[in-house]
A and B are shown apart, each in its own frame.
Chain A
């Protein structure tokens, strides 16, 4: 038992290194001025370090606005996605009705054409609905690529639960919805959390729709805002990396907290022999 534990932690250590080196490079760069960066010395660490990039990012750019917009859109899209895809995923894998196989296949078909080509007709639809140049456009557009993905992911999870559990609950008088809420959801919480996380990060990092559907400077999301730090052949490296650090840390912290809050019950059960 101890041997395997060591192996596990050893591998985790290796992964931390793999993840850490590029991330360290980003942090390192974010604490240097461009003069220090281009003088190439000192190379591996900032000396003296400077918070100038962070100050410039928060002070001169619209960074806080970008975060607010991205948060709004990502949270909203995630809620919609989790609701729609969990219901749909459940229905497609656990209820029998004609056409469900066709539907399940069609759901993923949408990914065959990349957003770079889909955005023009999508824009036309949004324009007709008068949603263009507001964050609603993104709230409507993002589920088009997060929902199919999360539905499929959750289908994989839902499928793994033995059918008898809900059948037992329904035999005892619960409705489908009740069985779904009280039996299936709790059991697949890790899957739903994973799906929510992916929906969130996909929306958080999406660039093209945010660039094209929204013109207002006040409505820029983070990826579009980052664009403003790159001018063809002059890049504000320090600020770019500072932005990366500042947009990553909150998500990590949030996810840690969410996990502990939601999945505690499971791990407690696992420990108990």
Chain B
């Protein structure tokens, strides 16, 4: 093609690009920019529900920085999020690999394994609450019936096991997300690459390492980032299972924000809690975006 035609083509192409992305812009800028800006503003005030806000600068943030309960909350959130996502990635990958290989009833199996994702979260959390109960929960009752354990284990009553419990419930609910996404990602990898590799004499492990994983790289990155963000903001599972207890052992950002906003009615401080982690998440997002949109 002649250069000028190419340039004209490129501009026209860019315009098409803008048009495609227009609905998204309308949605994000129109409906989210204002609430987001409002949230940033509120975090700089002493807003109390029902009263007008007064500007206080960074007072909320400094108060949080010195608050030992907030420190605990951040630590809990980090543990909760990282542990859950790490296991979900592995479990999801294994699920996708297994389903990839399974040719009989694949659609059915794939749907059935989606059940944890589809059940209303509140019911999932309630069920796990029942299962973990020390006196009448299925886990302890079974352990006692088969004679493995005499004393009831207080799963939700001790800090470490309580955290393990909420992480377990979160993993149970969330791994199908990874499984389905990664499987979809695997299905986008051309089969011929595997055939070619087989022709070249690659072992299954090599095929996984050199074909599957690189092919999944972007999908894996995106799903992990999304899961990190969602898990960090997860409210229902912790709230229903333990309310953040025992004590503050499983108090995470979402439950802390809820308590400050809806129970203490201190809206300014509540928003500041969520804003506190914004730099961290923003950095993560920027890094992944760079990777995702770079020129090939």
Which residues of B does A touch, CB under 8 Å? 10, 13-14, 16-18, 20-21, 23-25, 27-28, 31-32, 34-36, 38-39, 91, 94-95, 97-99, 101-103, 106-124, 126-128, 130-131, 136, 138, 141, 172, 177, 180-181, 183-185, 187-189, 191, 195, 204, 215, 218-223, 225-226, 229-230, 233, 235-236, 254, 257-258, 261-262, 270-271, 274-275, 277-278, 281-282, 285-286, 289-290, 292-293, 295-296
Contact = CB atoms under 8 A, between A and B. Distances in A.
25 contacts: A11-B95, A26-B119, A84-B24, A87-B24, A91-B17, A101-B289, A105-B286, A110-B32, A111-B229, A112-B229, A112-B275, A114-B254, A116-B254, A140-B31, A155-B218, A176-B16, A190-B183, A194-B184, A197-B114, A198-B177, A198-B180, A240-B126, A243-B120, A256-B107, A256-B111
Interface string A220-248: 00110010000000010100110110011
Contact of A84 (B16, B27, B117, B122): B27
Given A91-B17, A207-B122, A248-B118, A22 B188 contact: no
Contact of A109 (B36, B126, B180): B36
A238 to B, nearest CB: 12
Contact of B35 (A122, A157, A201): A122
A237 B204 CA distance: 48
Contacts of A108: 225, 229, 285, 289
Contacts of A152: 222, 225-226
A117 B257 contact: yes
Interface of B is mostly: helix
Contact of A269 (B98, B191, B261): B191
Contact of B172 (A18, A40, A95, A106): A18
Contact of A148 (B16, B28, B98, B236): B28
B35 A191 contact: no
Given A19-B112, A267-B106, 4 more contacts: A15-B95, A121-B39, A153-B219, A263-B107
Given A16-B113, A100-B293, A88 B24 contact: yes
